[in-house]
Structure 1
Amino acid sequence: MEKADALVSLLAENAAKVDAEAEFPVENLCALRESGYLGLLVPTEYGGMGRGLDDMVEVARSLSTGCLSTAMIWAMHCQQTDVLVRHADAGLRAELLPRVAAGEVYLASITTDTNKGGHLLAAQDSLAHRGELLTLHRDAPVVTGGVHADGFLITMRAHQEAREHEVTLVYANRKDLSVQQTHEWRTLGMRGTHSVGLRLSGQVPAHHIVGAPGRFREVAADSMVPTGHLGWSACWLGAAQGAFSRLVRKLAASAHKGGTDLSSPLVQERVARIRLDLELVSAYLSKVREEVSALRESGRRLDAPSVQIHLNTLKLAASELTFQAADRMVQLAGLSTGYSGDSPIPLERVFRDLRSAALNYANDRLLTANGALSMLDRAVTLV
């Protein structure tokens, strides 16, 4: 998509400063607002681009070659947009989606909890129902871009007597909330996502519940998990792919000047192994994207054990193999090019950023889930 390609150079220009100062990429987000890309998944009837998951994956992959933090921010916004498109009621869609399409509303997600960590399908803080209003008080230790968000999708325990797995998803406009930052974001990588801790309090209209009350699990299986794993994986692949493209060009230029010996079997093997990692992620991402799109187009559910295994496996494979590829690139490039923050190829930053991939919804949790799900898919339905 031409507009996305034009944005990549701006993101790349700002990426080093965003990383070095651990600052939210405000200029990059402004460009995404103005370009209409916050409304990529918003249907045309609400003023959006009306695109699907194929385009979301390709744009995320492209943006990540410029700045992985910005691309992840955008992909997670798209994740929340998809949730609203598929599960908000008609009133909330009409009220909110035109503003998203116009670039007025950047959406953040609040699913982490102080004690349960990132467990998506559980919540501690509960909603209080008072007539047509819902009162919420929410502490979240990690909220990507939360300080800059215009609206939030928040998981809450359905009511005070509800169990922790009876979770309701609710949308809140920033103007309806008191928002206080509680934690800093001082991390090894992904520094530009500015994923600080927040404490939120306020009241929202009852029709801002997204999906059925207490049944967030259905929303997660149908929308939040598929778009999240597809978007994240595309971002990680794009960052590694972009770094590899720059590296092979540098190696070719070095060989032309009598430097790197491209006929060396060691160099060739190292290059081949990096390419292997990226090819495998790209192929699996493509197949899972096709599966999810086909299920959606036919109106079928995405909560079958085999589909959930494929989505979890995508996240696992993408997070591990793209980081492995970055590690191999650092080794191949050597100390001055691969390990230095002053290198013209940002391998050092990509390496740090991709180390977070296995921690962004912990891989151990997904492996445990896949083990249990595999016992339900005894036909072993492979992608």
Structure 2
Amino acid sequence: MTTTPLNFTSSQPPAPKGRQASASVAERVASVAHVAQEHLEATDRDASFPRHALRQMRSTGLLGLLVPAEYGGLAGTVGDLIDASMALGRVDMSVGMIFAMHCQQSEAIVRYAASPLREDLLHRLAAGDLYLASVTTEPGKGGHLFRSYAPLHESGDALRIDRVAPIVTGGAEADGFLITMRSPHATADHHVSLVYAHRHQLTVEGSGVWNPMGMRASHSLPLTLTGSIPPHQVIGEHGAFHRIAQSVFGPLAHIGWSAVWLGTAAGALSRVLRLLRDPAGRKRFDLGSELLMTRLSRARQRLDTVHALLRRTESLMAGDTDVSGTSSQLLLNSLKITAAEECYRAVDELVDAVGLRHGYLRDSPTRLEKSLRDLRSAALNYSNDRLHLADGQLCLLDPDVRFA
């Protein structure tokens, strides 16, 4: 099992061959954001996957952000992931979430995949040939990440996959899948293995229609996956998915998601402020209104709070801390809960601040209506209620109230 630590250094390696050698991570992200902006109206209206933005992620090498330089990747840091996720979230929360979740999957491969699978997949990620989808949802388990009822069967020299997932973000477009399943020799539901499967190794069948209130471009349809893979495509050890979840899946999910949500809310506030500062806007709004100023202040305060907590969590990760500890888990969960709640509330307050025309109608340049629809999903994306229950139990393990 490979347990290479996360690379949190701030230096940028040379760009992979075949890419723009002078392009920084920020420039690559900006080019993806520009493409996402061009197709934003259509992907939201049609609830269609942002294929053009994904194509740009491939061509710029951004899918290999967290891949080490020795494999042609960008060797990005968690800070780079945060910055990129925030920038994409400012334009389209769906695109930002698609990217952040892909990076979460790629880091699991960097840290836990064994040879020769590791080398094969990392080169593909760096080249932009591998967009990853996560298959962790399962009927009947109610969002319990550490549990699986779908058995992974051993069949000769192969592992047999037969898996139903009610939500797979971007699954219809993915080149490969990281799938949680009950281990072949499991004696309990929490003995879960993580496996990788190429798309060509599976029969992938979608069902239903994706027509949500928000996050419409994430295209998170239910999928049924069946097929066989060789045993070396187990990521980490059989039955030890909880280690991957605690060290990679959980931390990078909460950090990446929170960065996207913060970007979405910050973009909304920025568009409102530009509207108010525009000469025409000054005629429509009373900039001497104490109520308006107070609402703007509260929105900014909420976002600064999330940003401070996000950067605090980043510094925790940069310190090579064992994030499985009680105080670290509480901080990570607090980040997710706080970001989900405060980013939504900030945009909700902005709707009140600018009123019906620019807060509620879909054709306003503020795009508050879309931001509000998208951010409503944040508290439901691994439910805040479930995290509060977990945190209550963790609190009992730390009677001295020590901080990470």
Into which bin does the TM-score normalised by the smaller protein fall?
over 0.9
Residue 177 in structure 1 maps to residue 198 in structure 2 = no
1:376 and 1:132 mapped to 2: Cα distance?
A: 44
| Counterpart residue type for residue 83 of structure 2 | E
2:400 and 2:114 mapped to 1: Cα distance?
A: 37
| Counterpart residue type for residue 176 of structure 1 | Q
* Map of 2:323 onto structure 1: 302
1:336 CA displacement: 1.1
> Aligned to 1:361, which of 378, 382, 392?
382
Residue 124 in structure 1 maps to residue 149 in structure 2 = yes
> Aligned to 1:189, which of 214, 219, 231?
214
1:281 and 1:257 mapped to 2: Cα distance?
A: 29
Unaligned runs of 5+ in 2: 1-25
- Note closer, same or farther for the CA distance 1:262–1:206 as it changes in structure 2 (3 Å cut): same
| Counterpart residue type for residue 323 of structure 1 | Y
Structure 1 segment 266-285 matched on structure 2, within 5 A: 266-285=291-310
Deviates more, 1:97-106 or 1:155-164: 155-164
> Aligned to 1:214, which of 206, 221, 239?
239
Residue 342 in structure 1 maps to residue 363 in structure 2 = yes
1:382 CA displacement: 2.4
Unaligned runs of 5+ in 1: none
1:161 CA displacement: 4.9
The answer to whether the 8 A contact 1:255-1:261 is kept is no
Partner of 2:207, secondary structure, is strand
* Map of 1:79 onto structure 2: 104
The answer to whether the 8 A contact 1:243-1:345 is kept is yes
Once the two structures are superposed, residues 77-135 of structure 1 have per-residue CA deviations (whole angstroms, 9 ceiling, x without a partner) of: 00000111011112211111100110101000000001113221111101111243111
| Counterpart residue type for residue 132 of structure 1 | D
* Map of 2:8 onto structure 1: none
> Aligned to 2:347, which of 312, 320, 326?
326
2:186 and 2:372 mapped to 1: Cα distance?
A: 45
* Map of 1:166 onto structure 2: 191
1:256 CA displacement: 6.5
* Map of 1:258 onto structure 2: 283
* Map of 2:269 onto structure 1: 244
The answer to whether the 8 A contact 1:39-1:48 is kept is yes
| Counterpart residue type for residue 142 of structure 2 | G
The answer to whether the 8 A contact 2:337-2:379 is kept is yes
1:58 and 1:35 mapped to 2: Cα distance?
A: 16
Identity, % of aligned positions: 43
Once the two structures are superposed, residues 34-86 of structure 1 have per-residue CA deviations (whole angstroms, 9 ceiling, x without a partner) of: 01000000001111001111100100000111111011001000000011101
The answer to whether the 8 A contact 1:183-1:198 is kept is no
Once the two structures are superposed, residues 225-258 of structure 1 have per-residue CA deviations (whole angstroms, 9 ceiling, x without a partner) of: 0110000000000010011001011011157643
1:221 CA displacement: 0.3
Residue 135 in structure 1 maps to residue 156 in structure 2 = no
Deviates more, 1:226-235 or 1:249-258: 249-258
Runs of 4+ in 1 over 6 A off after TM superposition: none
Residue 70 in structure 1 maps to residue 91 in structure 2 = no
TM-score by length of 2: 0.92
Partner of 1:60, secondary structure, is helix
TM-score by length of 1: 0.97
